[in-house]
Amino acid sequence: MRDLLASLDGLRGRLPEIAQADAMHLQQLRTELLGRKAGALTAILKQLATLDPEVRRTVGAAANALKGELEAALDARVRALAEIAGDEAAHDLTMPGRTAWRGGLHVLTQVVDEVCDIFREVGFTRAVGPEAETERNNFFALNFPVDHPALDAQESFYLGDDVLLRTHTSPVQIRTLETHPPPVRVVIPGQVYRRDTFDPSHSPVFEQIEGLAVDEGITFVDFKATLAYFARRFFGPRTRVRFSPSFFPFTEPSADMAASCSVCDGRGCPTCKQTGWLEILGSGMVHPAVLENCGVDAERYTGFAFGMGAQRLAMVRHGIPDIRLFFESDVRFLRQFAGRGR
Ligand code: DAH
């Protein structure tokens, strides 16, 4: 009888194993312990008939109690495994992982940084100025005539009698020249404001990148070569540039620069409106009157300046069809550019 009770204890010792078993092992354990033909406990129960009544009672009670325990443990493990499997079914393991949203620089910031980096490599530092400007810096020091239409309240956002939201980044040329004697080489990114209504290519606020180089002996050749270099760096080595006569009060001569369309390589496409060219920037040799207004000797110093629209560059670079996308902060738009840039 002692042997039999010891065997029962041995079988009870398998309980922890049941609690850990996976589905297949569980099936094996059930057969091994309780199987009708070869089950270890079944074998003991079968022997009961051959025992003395006294012994049979004791061993029988212990064996039946153990049978109940083993069955309960096996059933509990079956339920536990089913629960785990249910949880896993709710998770489709073939689905792409949920990655943490890391955020990133706005596509416009990326493009502005890229432009500034290109110019930094050829000696331009980055400067900034305030968005609220005086009429003097925004217009008069830049040689605008007093009756220029941009001075009209219909065109610009005035904050006071002679303070307005700057209509371009050019007033930072004035601020720079007044505080830094030449040689000067700066790029100036910043927001500018005009009374335009929103449409796919206009916005009352947008970003410009201004450039200014003033030194002794700067010529029209330096001007063209620097901007052509920029265009090739930004749009690619095959890019051709075209300068055409233009007019700005603060440059003389003035020129608009176009780059061969980087989308169609100049063959004609919707981005370049079939012309093969993209108008990129306004520019020119700094007007001597501007230099003099800033206390710079125009006999000794010359320079060039340029201004371009940052959204326009980003739109061409990434095929963005509508300027309003830059302002709407729609993550479906923003996300496409996340992780790029720095
Ligand atoms: N300020 C001009 C504008 O807003 C752009 C511009 C043209 C800037 C010529 C310049 C320049 O520095 O030389 O349209």
Same domain, 298 and 259: yes
- Where does a domain end: 90, 120, 154? 90
The pLDDT, as a whole number, for residue 197 is 94
Q: Is residue 99 domain-resident?
A: no
How would you classify residue 117: left for phi > 0, otherwise alpha for psi between -120 and 50, otherwise beta?
A: alpha
Distance, CA of 262 to CA of 236 (rounded, Å): 7
Q: Is residue 73 domain-resident?
A: yes
Same domain, 71 and 124: no
User: Which CATH number does the domain housing residue 324 bear?
Assistant: 3.30.930.10
Same domain, 197 and 84: no
Q: Is the dihedral of CA 7, 9, 10, 15 positive or negative?
A: positive
Q: Is residue 242 domain-resident?
A: yes
Q: What angle do CA 39, 42, 43 make, to 5 degrees?
A: 90
Pocket test for ligand 1, best of 230, 248, 294 (most atoms within 8 A of CB): 248
The pLDDT, as a whole number, for residue 342 is 46
Same domain, 124 and 75: no
Q: Is residue 323 domain-resident?
A: yes
Q: Is residue 98 domain-resident?
A: no
Looking only at the bridges linking them, the beta strands covering 301-309 and 205-216 are antiparallel
- Where does a domain end: 90, 122, 150? 90
Hey, what are 208's tokens?
A: 């410009």
Q: How far is the CA of 283 from the centre of ligand 1 (A)?
A: 6
Q: Does the beta carbon of 41 sit less than 6 angstroms from any atom of ligand 1?
A: no
Q: Name which residue sits closest to atom 9 of ligand 1, judged by CA.
A: 283
Same domain, 76 and 113: no
First to last CA, the chain: 80
Same domain, 193 and 268: yes
Distance, CA of 74 to CA of 105 (rounded, Å): 56
Q: Does the beta carbon of 307 sit less than 6 angstroms from any atom of ligand 1?
A: yes
The pLDDT, as a whole number, for residue 81 is 83
The pLDDT, as a whole number, for residue 340 is 56
Q: Is residue 96 domain-resident?
A: no
Q: Does the beta carbon of 284 sit less than 6 angstroms from any atom of ligand 1?
A: yes
User: Token pair 């265009």 is at which residue?
Assistant: 231
Same domain, 157 and 58: no
The pair phi, psi for residue 63, each rounded to 5°, is: -65, -40
Same domain, 291 and 181: yes
For 33, counting Cβ atoms within 10 Å of its Cβ (0-12 exposed, 13-18 middle, 19+ buried), the class is buried
Q: Is the dihedral of CA 126, 130, 131, 136 positive or negative?
A: negative
Same domain, 83 and 145: no
Task: Give me the helix-helix angle, 107-121 and 220-235, nearest 10°.
Answer: 130
Cis peptide upstream of residue 96 (ω within 30 degrees of 0): no
Q: Can you give the pLDDT of all 342 residues of the chain as single tens digits?
A: 788 888 888 888 888 888 888 888 888 888 888 888 888 888 888 888 888 888 888 888 888 888 888 888 888 888 888 888 777 777 778 888 877 777 889 999 999 999 999 999 999 999 999 999 999 999 999 999 999 998 888 899 999 999 999 999 999 999 999 999 999 999 999 999 999 999 999 999 999 999 999 999 999 999 999 999 999 999 999 999 999 999 999 999 999 999 999 889 989 998 889 999 999 999 999 999 999 999 999 999 999 999 999 999 999 999 999 999 999 999 999 999 987 544
Q: Is residue 97 domain-resident?
A: no
Same domain, 9 and 49: yes
Residues of the domain holding 295: 107-337
Which of 228, 185, 234, 232 is closest to 210 using CA atoms? 185
The pLDDT, as a whole number, for residue 25 is 86
Hey, what are 188's tokens?
A: 């100036």
Same domain, 41 and 164: no
Q: Does the beta carbon of 305 sit less than 6 angstroms from any atom of ligand 1?
A: yes
Same domain, 240 and 286: yes
Closest approach atom of ligand 1 to CA 286: 13
Q: Is residue 226 domain-resident?
A: yes
- Where does a domain end: 90, 124, 143? 90
**Number of folded domains that form the chain:** 2
